[in-house]
Amino acid sequence: MGFIRRQGTRPEEAEDFTQGFFALLLERRDFDAVRKEKGRLRSYLLTSVKHFLASEQRRAMTAKRGKGQRLIPLEDLSAIEGTEMEPADCLSADRLYERRWALTLMEQVLRRLKNEYETGGNPALFDSLKQLLPDEPGAPSRAEIAARLGMTDNALRQAFHRFRHRYQSLLREEIGHTVAIASDIEDELRHLIAVLRA
């Protein structure tokens, strides 16, 4: 829905377009075709929603202007409607979509990893090791974490190595759910890294 909002639609319209888009996909059974073709679900959805929005825009433009209803001058729009738009930033709608996809994927991986550590009875270890990831702001030093957990520096280093290895495995597994063939996983992983660095 955020992508559709970035195309200049109001929140209510964005909800309607989102529901209409997915209803159309389900009605036409487009997801069945995606599984058979080589390609990325993310790219397919982005292209499909762009075509859907263009089609909706053409449909709206072909309708008679106003349909006999009174036009509302722009000056009469409430200040609230202007503030409902997402704040503008330097990212295009496409890049914002890609970035949100990447961040959502990373969140799913971390959630799965956290569940594994909780199931293994080590939620505190997960929380501490997560702080050692590069993007964690204000993280304590490795020595501080080792002292808090009562571990040696070497033991913490090994635990973090296992943590990163499992994180990478889960990330590849999650990416594997979004591509048609396994050989695309590495390309998609490189794309994910490029999106996060941009």
Q: Please give the pLDDT value at position 81.
A: 46
Residue 85 pLDDT exceeds 60 = no
Selected residue with higher pLDDT from 66 and 97: 97
Q: Express each pLDDT in 156-179 by its tens digit.
A: 999 999 999 999 999 999 988 888
Q: Please give the pLDDT value at position 79.
A: 43
pLDDT-based confidence at residue 123 (cuts at 50, 70, 90): very high
Q: Express each pLDDT in 127-136 by its tens digit.
A: 999 988 876 6
Q: Express each pLDDT in 3-59 by its tens digit.
A: 777 766 777 887 877 877 777 767 776 666 665 555 567 777 777 777 777 777 666
Q: What is the largest CA-CA distance in the chain?
A: 77
The answer to whether residues 134 and 128 touch, using CB atoms and an 8 Å cutoff, is no
Nearest to 170 by CA among 107, 80, 124, 119: 107
The predicted model scores a pTM of 0.57
Q: Round to whole Å and give the CA distance between 36 and 43.
A: 15
Q: Please give the pLDDT value at position 180.
A: 80
pLDDT, average across residues 69-98:
56
Domain locations along the chain: 2-83, 93-197
Q: Round to whole Å and give the CA distance between 76 and 73.
A: 6
Q: Please give the pLDDT value at position 136.
A: 61
Nearest to 54 by CA among 10, 98, 21, 92: 21
Least confident of 10-19, 77-86, 98-107, 142-151: 77-86
Q: Round to whole Å and give the CA distance between 60 and 62.
A: 6
Nearest to 7 by CA among 61, 70, 49, 39: 49
